[in-house]
Structure 1
Amino acid sequence: MEAAINTLVSQFKAYAGKQGSAQTLSREEFQSMLTSQLKSYIKNANDSAAIDQLMGSLDENNDGELSFLEFWQFLGQLANQHGGFNK
């Protein structure tokens, strides 16, 4: 599990550092990460309206960016669905 956490943190930092704050994911950074790293999980990652809706649902403080905590909660939701734990 330690390796998985290290990978998630390093991937977040790699995408967050592309533009703006290195501490948050912009909408564009988030979409880039989804299309590159989660293409099997997020089928409509190229759909701008779907990304806007997803960002809106994840961005708890409505600052237009995702903090690591907001991103982490998203990954928890994905893992929960993938593992069949939400039934």
Structure 2
Amino acid sequence: MVRVGQGSWYQLKHASAQTVMEAAICTIVTQFKTHAGKDGSSSTLSKDEFQNLVTAQLPNYVKNASDPGAIEQLMGSLDENNDGELNFSEFWQLMGKLASKQGGFGQ
């Protein structure tokens, strides 16, 4: 059985000996937390928060991030529970899709 570390996000973020992959995960979590909550819930991204995050952090991967229609379509494809917001698990799907495309592993 695989054991997942029990450290909090804060503890992991401030660990002195992070690997490259651990640092990458912390960066993604930090960016999600930085953008989430500005419009309400601190655990989800609203459409505006999502657009701001994508525009600021993924401009080379999501070329039409400034187009509200494109953001709405992208968000709709990720929003599994159709609540109009993205929780971290839903947002993480985008990270997986972008990483797969970047690595030549999928669409």
Q: TM-score range by the shorter chain?
A: over 0.9
Q: Tell me which protein shows more helix as a share of its residues.
A: 1
Structure 1 residue 29 corresponds to structure 2 residue 63: no
Q: 1:46-67 deviations in whole A, cap 9, x for unaligned? A: 1111111001100000000000
* Structure 1 runs of 4+ with >4 Å offset: none
Match of 1:85 in 2: 105
Of the three residues 34, 50, 63, the one matched with 2:70 is 50
Aligned residues: 87
TM-score normalized with structure 1 length: 0.96
Greater length-normalized contact order (CA 8 Å, ≥ 6 residues apart): 1
TM-score normalized with structure 2 length: 0.79
Q: 1:1-53 deviations in whole A, cap 9, x for unaligned? A: 11011111111000002121000000000000011000000000011111110
Gaps of 5+ in 1: none
Structure with the greater alpha carbon radius of gyration? 2
Give the % identical residues: 64
